């Protein structure tokens, strides 16, 4: 089976990483020839894990599996306001950038496809943009009784649902229920906005995060693979 797809330029990524990047779009199936791919230094494809034929075709065409992704959905009919939550302020951006740069060790923005520092830089920018409300809409912080940072979650309002962007707990505060509190606060944020579902995705390699989402009542909705060439 040949790969049938057009290529959508990923402008934000291309600018941020200084790497001309395109994403395969399977909804407009044209044969993927050399002339279509030549302007791009990196081609990305996200394929449902069930779509074995397409996964085979991409691998025969030289694409390599980079990471898996699991998508979860949580119904938010009954939620409660969580204590110890704050909205992040711009003055906290340097602290939060450092925390995000260190937190996300599983990432598809990794070597050999991206430079070694790419993923730290990427998640730091993502968090900064969430605090400013320019990508995700808000960043909530979990703090302890002294007001010290324990973790963060960024959130985006979509048309019918909300989506968690980034969620992490500082290493010193892990395994004490902070992740559960952040998910409960994210669910409450969603319900307060009149939305019915909270979505969250993570890497298939991230067992701790997947367990957290299950323990928070989320259901696994879909799985996919990222492939690059």
Ligand X SMILES: Cc1cn([C@H]2C[C@H](O)[C@@H](COP(=O)(O)OP(=O)(O)O[C@H]3O[C@H](C)[C@H](N)[C@H](O)[C@H]3O)O2)c(=O)[nH]c1=O
Q: Closest separation between CB of residue 145 and ligand X, Å?
A: 28
What's the chain's length in residues?
A: 229
Q: How far apart are CA 21 and CA 11, in angstroms?
A: 7
**Closer of 93 and 164 to ligand X (Cβ):** 164
Taking the mean position of all CA atoms in its chain, how far away is CA 122? 11
Is the preceding omega at residue 112 within 30 degrees of 0, hence cis?
A: yes
Q: Does residue 214 interact with ligand X by CB under 6 A?
A: no
Listed ranges 34-42, 186-194, 199-207, 210-218: which one lies at the site for ligand X (CB under 6 A) = 199-207
Q: Which of 113, 105, 117, 107 is nearest to 20 (CA)?
A: 113
Q: Select the span of 36-44, 75-83, 172-180, 186-194 touching ligand ACO (CB under 6 A).
A: 172-180
For ligand ACO, which stretch binds (CB under 6 A), given 34-42, 78-86, 88-96, 208-216? 208-216
> Among 117, 207, 220, 223, which residue sits at the site for ligand ACO (rule: CB under 6 A)?
207
The Cα angle at residue 217 between residues 212 and 223, in degrees rounded to 5: 70
Residue 135 contact, options ligand ACO, ligand X, none, Cβ 5-8 Å cut-off depending on partner type: ligand X
Please report, as residue ranges, which positions from 119 to 178 form the binding site for ligand X (by CB under 6 A): 125-126, 129, 135, 164-166
Partner from ligand ACO, ligand X, none contacting 175, C-beta within 5 to 8 A by type: ligand ACO
3-state secondary structure 70-100: EEEEEECCCCCCCCCEEECCHHHHHHHHHHH
Q: What is the DSSP letter of 134?
A: S
In the chain, what is the greatest distance between 2 CA atoms, to the nearest angstrom? 60
Q: How far is CA 206 from CA 89, 104, 156, 173, 194, in A?
A: 29, 10, 22, 18, 30
Phi, psi of 71 (to 5 degrees): -110, 125
177 binds ligand ACO (CB under 6 A): yes
Residues within the interface to ligand X (CB under 6 A): 10, 12-13, 104, 107-108, 125-126, 129, 135, 164-166, 201-203
Q: Residues at the annotated binding site for acetyl-CoA? A: 206
Which residues contact ligand ACO (rule: CB under 6 A)?
Answer: 103-104, 164, 166-169, 174-180, 200, 202, 206-209, 211-212, 215
């Amino acid at each position: 089976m040949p790969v049938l797809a057009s290529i959508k330029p990923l402008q934000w990524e291309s600018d941020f990483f200084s790497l001309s990047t395109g994403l395969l779009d399977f909804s407009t199936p044209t044969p993927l020839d050399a002339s279509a791919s030549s302007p791009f230094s990196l081609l990305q494809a996200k394929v449902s894990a069930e779509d074995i034929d397409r996964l085979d075709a991409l691998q025969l065409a030289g694409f390599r599996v980079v990471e898996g992704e699991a998508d979860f959905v949580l119904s938010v009919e009954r939620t409660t306001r969580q204590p110890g939550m704050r909205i992040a302020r711009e003055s906290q951006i340097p602290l939060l950038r450092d925390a995000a740069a260190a937190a996300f060790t599983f990432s598809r923005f990794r070597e050999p496809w991206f430079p070694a520092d790419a993923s730290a830089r990427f998640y730091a920018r993502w968090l900064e943009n969430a605090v400013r409300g320019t990508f995700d809409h808000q960043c909530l912080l979990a703090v302890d009784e002294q007001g010290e940072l324990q973790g963060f979650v960024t959130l985006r309002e979509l048309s019918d649902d909300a989506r968690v962007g980034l969620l992490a707990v500082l290493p010193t505060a892990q395994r004490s229920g902070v992740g559960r509190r952040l998910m409960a606060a994210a669910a409450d944020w969603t319900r307060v906005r009149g939305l019915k579902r909270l979505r969250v995705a993570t890497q298939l390699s991230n067992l701790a995060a997947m367990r957290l989402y299950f323990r928070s009542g989320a259901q696994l909705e879909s799985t996919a693979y990222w492939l690059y060439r």
